[in-house]
Chains A and B, each alone.
Chain A
Amino acid sequence: MSTVVTPAPQRLRRSLGHKLRIAGGIVVSIVFLFPIYWMVLTSFKDQVDIFTNPPTFFFTPTIAAYVEYMTRADIVPRLINTIIVASGSGLLSIVVGTMAGYALARIRLRGAATIGLLILLSRGVPPIALAVPMFLVARKLGLTDKHITLILAYSTFLVPYVMWLMRSFFLSLPRELEESAMIDGCSRYGAFFKIIVPISLPGLLSTLIFSMILAWEELLFALVLTNRHASTIPVAIAGIAGDTVNGANWAALTAVGTITVVPVVVFALLVQKWLIKGLAEGATKG
C-alpha cells in the first residue's frame, strides 16, 4: 500500500511549488479585496459598531444607511447621472478613439507618429491643471452642470486611452486583410466596418468597459464642472466624506461606495468572458 502512494520527490516539489503559488494568489487577493470587504461590512454597521476598538467583524447588521441615503432625493438622480455620463463618454470615446487609432495604425501620413505622441503626451498634463480652464470655458458657453459637459470632459482622456490601445491592436493585424476586402469590393470604410471591427470586437468591448469604469469613478472633473443637475456618485461620496458640519458619516459613505461598486462588479462578471479574451489578445498581439 505504501509502495503505491509514495510520490516521487520531484512531484512532491512540484506540488509544493503549486501550493505556494496558490497561497501567494490568495494573499494577493486578500490584500486587494479586503478594503472592499471592509467597506461593504462597514455599510451595514451602526455608528457604535463602526467605532468599536478593536474593530469588530461581528455585529447586528442594519440597512439604516442604505434606507437613509436611498430615500434622500439626490442619490438616485446621481446614480442616473453617472450612468448617463459613463455610457455617453464611453461610447463617444470608443467610436472616436477606435477610428483615430485605426487611422494612426494604417494611414500613411507624414507626422502620424508625432501626432500620436502629442496626443499621448497631452495625457501627461495633471487633470487639476485642466479642470479650472475647463470650468471657465464651460461657464462661458453656458454648459456648466450639464451631462454633455462631463461627457466631453471625460472624452479628453478616454479618447487618447482608447486610441492607443486600439492602435496597437490594429498594428497587430495584417494589412492584407483590408487590402483583400478592398479588392473584393469594399471601400476603406467598408473594409473597416465589415472586416476589422468584427475581428476586433473582443478588444473593443473590453476597452469600452474599462473606459466606462474610468468615467464611472471620476471625481475631479465632476466636482468642478457640476453642482446639482449633472452631479455624479463620486461627488456625493466626497460630499459625505468632507461634511465638516455633521462630521463624516461612515455608514453613509460606505453604503454609497457599495452602491457605486456593485454595478461595476456585476457588469464585469457579465462580460467576463469577453473581458479576459480581450485582455489576453491585447497581451499577446499588442
Chain B
Amino acid sequence: MGTVQIRDVHKSYGPVEVLHGVSINIEDGEFVALVGPSGCGKSTLLRMIAGLEDISGGDIRIGDRVVNNIAPKDRDIAMVFQNYALYPHKNVRENMGFALRQRRVPRAEIDERVNDAARILGLEHLLERKPRALSGGQRQRVAMGRAIVRNPTVFLFDEPLSNLDAKLRVQMRSEIKELHQRLKTTTVYVTHDQIEAMTLADRVVVMNSGVIEQEGPPLELYDKPASLFVAAFIGSPPMNFLEGNLQNGTVLHLDDGTRLNLPVGDRKQRSRVTIGIRPEHFTVAPSGWPATVSVVEPTGSETQITARFAGHVVRVLSRGRTSVRPSDTIHLAFDQGHLHFFDPAPVPEVAKMEDVA
C-alpha cells in the first residue's frame, strides 16, 4: 500500500529549526504537490521521506511501517533529483537497471523491465549512450526511467523540470501526468512553480517557512485561499490586493480616499482589511471606478491590462481583445461574488516575484 503519513514532523539543523511540525496524509495512488517559496523546507521534507535526512521529531509512515529508522534503500521509494544524478560512468541501460541489479533481480527480467520503461519514455535508441552524450531533456527522461523501472511504492520528485527550457517543461509536465494516470503510483512532487503544482496534483500543499499554510485540491486553493499568503502564491497573474478601513462592514475606504461599496457580509469585527480580487474578476465597465492603463499585453485569447487604480497597481485579465492603449482611462468594476477578505499583512514577495517571471 502506497500511503504516506507524515505526523507532526520537525527538523532542526543544529539550533535552527526549519520544519515546525508538519502533518500530511497521502493516500494510495494520490499525487501530492508540495509548493512554496525558496527555503520553505519542501526539499527537506521530501528528503526526510526518502531517508536522506534524519527526522528530528514526529514520525513518517510509508504503508504501515514507521520508517524513521529505516535506510533509504529499504523504504521502497524512487526519487528523481533536480540535477538527475545519473551515474556518469554507466550507460543509460545500466543506469536504469542499477537498482534492480542491487536487488539481485535476474538478468533477463532486468532487461525486460528496462526495455519496457525505455519504450514508455521513448529512450530505446539511447540505451547504450553515456549520460554526457544526452541532452537535458533526455537526461530527465532517463532519470524518470530509472525511477519507474523500480516499480516502487512511492515516487519522490524534487523539482525535476526546473533545469529544462520552458517548452520542454510543459511537455514533460503532461508526460508526468500521463505516466501517473497509467501507473497510479503514489507521488510526492516538490516544486516552487505553482502552475506545475496546480496542473499535476490531486492535492496541493502550500508551505511557508517550515509550516503548512493550506492544503487541498488545486481549485479549492484557488477559489478559497485561507490566507493572504496562499492567495498571493496561487494563481498567475497573481491576485490583486487593496488595503483600507472598513465602515459598517460594507464600505471600504482606501487610503487615497476612494470608497468602494462591498456586499454585506459577516466581517464587522474587523476595521482594517485587505481585499483580494483575481485579475479575471475585474471587468472594464462604464459604471466602475476610474483607472489609468500603464501596460497592455495581448496574448491572443485574452488580454492582460496593468493599470493604476486608487494608488495601487492592479492587473486585469479580460477575455478576447481590446482597443485600450497605455495612458487611457478605463473604468473597472469587480465581481462582488468573488472578493476575498484577509487581515492586513504585507503582500508576500512571492506575488511580486510571479510578476517579474
Q: Complex: how many Å from CA A184 to CA B80?
A: 11
Q: Complex: how many Å from CA A181 to CA B103?
A: 12
Cβ of B99 and Cβ of A185 under 8 Å apart?
A: yes
Q: Complex: how many Å from CA A180 to CA B73?
A: 10
Say yes or no for B85: interface residue by CB 8 A criterion.
yes
Given A176-B81, A179-B81, A180-B79; A186-B102 close (CB under 8 Å):
yes
Closest to A180 in B: B85
Contact flags A181-205 to B (C-beta < 8 A → 1, else 0)? 1111111001000010011000000
Cβ of B85 and Cβ of A185 under 8 Å apart?
A: no
Say yes or no for A137: interface residue by CB 8 A criterion.
no
Q: Complex: how many Å from CA A19 to CA B51?
A: 59
Cβ of B88 and Cβ of A184 under 8 Å apart?
A: no
Name the contact of B81 in the complex, choosing from A180, A195, A199 (C-beta under 8 A): A180
Q: How far is the CB of B29 from chain A (nearest CB, A)?
A: 21
Cβ of B85 and Cβ of A176 under 8 Å apart?
A: yes
Cβ of A185 and Cβ of B89 under 8 Å apart?
A: no
Q: What B residues does A180 contact at CB under 8 A?
A: 79, 81, 85, 87, 146
Cβ of A182 and Cβ of B72 under 8 Å apart?
A: yes
Contact residues, B59-93 vs A (CB, 8 A): 71-73, 75, 77-79, 81, 83, 85, 87-89
Q: What B residues does A187 contact at CB under 8 A?
A: 71, 73
Q: Complex: how many Å from CA A183 to CA B87?
A: 13
Say yes or no for B50: interface residue by CB 8 A criterion.
yes
Given A176-B83, A183-B79, A184-B102; A198-B89 close (CB under 8 Å):
yes
Cβ of B52 and Cβ of A182 under 8 Å apart?
A: yes
Contact flags A146-176 to B (C-beta < 8 A → 1, else 0)? 0000000000000000000000000000101
Q: Complex: how many Å from CA A183 to CA B152?
A: 11
Say yes or no for A22: interface residue by CB 8 A criterion.
no
In this complex, how many residues of chain A approach chain B with their Cβ under 8 Å: the count is 16
Say yes or no for B98: interface residue by CB 8 A criterion.
yes
Given A186-B73, A187-B71, A187-B73; A181-B87 close (CB under 8 Å):
yes
Q: What B residues does A190 contact at CB under 8 A?
A: 102
Name the contact of A199 in the complex, choosing from B83, B88, B98 (C-beta under 8 A): B88
Say yes or no for A67: interface residue by CB 8 A criterion.
no
Closest to B101 in A: A185
Q: How far is the CB of A183 from chain B (nearest CB, A)?
A: 5
Q: What A residues does B77 contact at CB under 8 A?
A: 183
Closest to B99 in A: A184
Q: Complex: how many Å from CA A195 to CA B85?
A: 11
Say yes or no for A115: interface residue by CB 8 A criterion.
no
Closest to B79 in A: A183
Q: Complex: how many Å from CA A199 to CA B51?
A: 24
Q: Complex: how many Å from CA A190 to CA B75?
A: 17
Q: What A residues does B78 contact at CB under 8 A?
A: 183
Say yes or no for A248: interface residue by CB 8 A criterion.
no
Cβ of B103 and Cβ of A179 under 8 Å apart?
A: no
Q: What A residues does B73 contact at CB under 8 A?
A: 182-187
Q: Complex: how many Å from CA A177 to CA B79?
A: 12
Q: What B residues does A199 contact at CB under 8 A?
A: 87-89
Cβ of A174 and Cβ of B83 under 8 Å apart?
A: yes
Q: How far is the CB of B4 from chain A (nearest CB, A)?
A: 15
Cβ of B50 and Cβ of A183 under 8 Å apart?
A: yes
Contact flags A205-232 to B (C-beta < 8 A → 1, else 0)? 0000000000000000000000000000
Q: Complex: how many Å from CA A186 to CA B101?
A: 10
Q: What A residues does B150 contact at CB under 8 A?
A: 184
Given A184-B102, A185-B103; A179-B72 close (CB under 8 Å):
yes
| Extra 7 A-B pairs, beta carbons < 8 Å, given A180-B87, A182-B51, A199-B88 | A174-B85, A176-B85, A179-B50, A179-B52, A183-B72, A184-B98, A185-B102
* 21 A–B contacts, CB within 8 A, in A order: A174-B85, A176-B83, A177-B85, A179-B72, A179-B85, A180-B85, A180-B87, A180-B146, A182-B51, A183-B51, A183-B52, A183-B72, A183-B77, A184-B99, A185-B73, A185-B99, A185-B103, A186-B102, A187-B71, A195-B87, A199-B87
Chain A residues with a Cβ under 8 A of chain B:
174, 176-177, 179-187, 190, 195, 198-199
Chain B residues with a Cβ under 8 A of chain A:
50-52, 71-73, 75, 77-79, 81, 83, 85, 87-89, 98-99, 102-103, 146, 150
Q: Which 7 A-B pairs have the closest CB atoms?
A: A185-B102, A176-B85, A184-B99, A180-B85, A176-B81, A185-B73, A182-B72
